[in-house]
Amino acid sequence: MKLLLPFHLNKVGAGFPSPATDYVEDDIDLNVHLIKNAPSTFLIRVQGKSMNKVDIHDGDLLVVDRSLDPKNFSTVIANVNEELVVKSFIKKNNQSFLSSGSKKLEDKISLTENSEIFIWGVVTYVIHAL
Amino acid sequence: MLCSKNKIALVDCNSFYVSCERLFNPAIINKPVVVLSSNDGCVISRSTEAKALNIKMGEPYFKVEKIVKKNNVKVFSSNYSLYGDISRRVMKTLKQFSPQMEIYSIDEAFLDLTSVKDENLLEHAYKIRKTVLKWTGIPTSIGIASTKTLSKAANFIAKKKKSGVVNLINSKQIDEILSKIEINNVWGVGQKLTKLYIKSGISTAYELKNISNGWIKKNTNVFGSRTAMELKGIPCIFLEKYKKKRKNCCVSRSFARKVTKLEELRESITRHCLNAAEKIRADNQIVKKITIFIRTSPFQKDKGYYANTKDVDLAVETNDSIELVKEALIALDDIYKEGYRYQKTGIIFSGLKDMSIYNKNLFSTINNEEKRIKLMKAIDNTNIKYGRNTLSIAQAGAEKICNIRKQHSSKINTTCFDFLPSVKIA
Residues of chain A in contact with residue B421, where contact means CB-CB under 8 angstroms, are 42, 44-45, 84
pLDDT at B371: 79
pTM for this structure? 0.79
List the one residue out of B98, B52, B27, B81 whose CA is nearest residue B412: B81
pLDDT at B362: 56
pLDDT at A1: 45
Quickly state the pLDDT bin for A49 (edges 50, 70, 90): confident
Angle between helices B80-95 and B121-136 (to 10 degrees): 140
Say if residue A69's pLDDT is above 70.
yes
Q: What is the mean pLDDT of residues A79-84?
A: 91
Residue A96 known to be catalytic: no
pLDDT at B348: 94
pLDDT at B180: 92
List the one residue out of B99, B153, B169 whose CA is nearest residue B141: B153
pLDDT at B1: 42
Residues of chain A in contact with residue B420, where contact means CB-CB under 8 angstroms, are 43-45, 61
Tell me the C-alpha distance between A107 and A105, whole Å.
5
**Cβ atoms B247, B350 nearer than 8 A:** yes
Say if residue A39's pLDDT is above 80.
yes
Q: How many CB pairs under 8 A join A and B?
A: 78
Tell me the C-alpha distance between A80 and A114, whole Å.
10
Chain B residues interacting with chain A (CB cutoff of 8 angstroms): 24, 26-27, 29, 88-90, 92-93, 131, 134-137, 414, 417, 420-426
Task: Give me the average pLDDT of each 10-residue run along chain B (426 residues).
Answer: 76 97 95 90 94 93 93 94 95 94 94 94 96 97 96 94 93 91 92 91 93 89 90 89 80 84 90 89 89 85 82 88 90 91 91 72 62 82 70 66 68 87 86
pLDDT at A5: 53
pLDDT at A13: 61
In the set A11, A18, A50, A110, the catalytic residue is A50
Residue A67 known to be catalytic: no
Q: A3 or B370: which carries more pLDDT confidence?
A: B370
| Nearest CB partner across the interface for B426, out of A42, A62, A100 | A100
pLDDT at B67: 95
Tell me the C-alpha distance between B200 and B165, whole Å.
33
Tell me the C-alpha distance between B86 and B397, whole Å.
32
Residues of chain B in contact with residue A52, where contact means CB-CB under 8 angstroms, are none
pLDDT at B401: 45
| Nearest CB partner across the interface for B423, out of A50, A82, A84 | A84
| DSSP secondary structure of B368-392 | -HHHHHHHHHHHHHHHHHH-TTSS-
What are the residues facing A97 on neighbouring strands? A90, A110
Tell me the C-alpha distance between B65 and B43, whole Å.
11
Find the radius of gyration of the CA atoms of chain B.
Answer: 24
Q: What is the mean pLDDT of residues A23-33?
A: 81
β strands within B54-116, DSSP E: 74-77, 101-105, 108-112
**Nearest CA-CA distance, residue B425 and chain A, Å:** 5
Question: What ipTM was estimated for this complex?
Answer: 0.82
Residues of chain A in contact with residue B425, where contact means CB-CB under 8 angstroms, are 46, 48-51, 56, 85-86, 100
Max intra-chain CA distance, chain B:
74
| Nearest CB partner across the interface for A42, out of B29, B421, B424 | B421
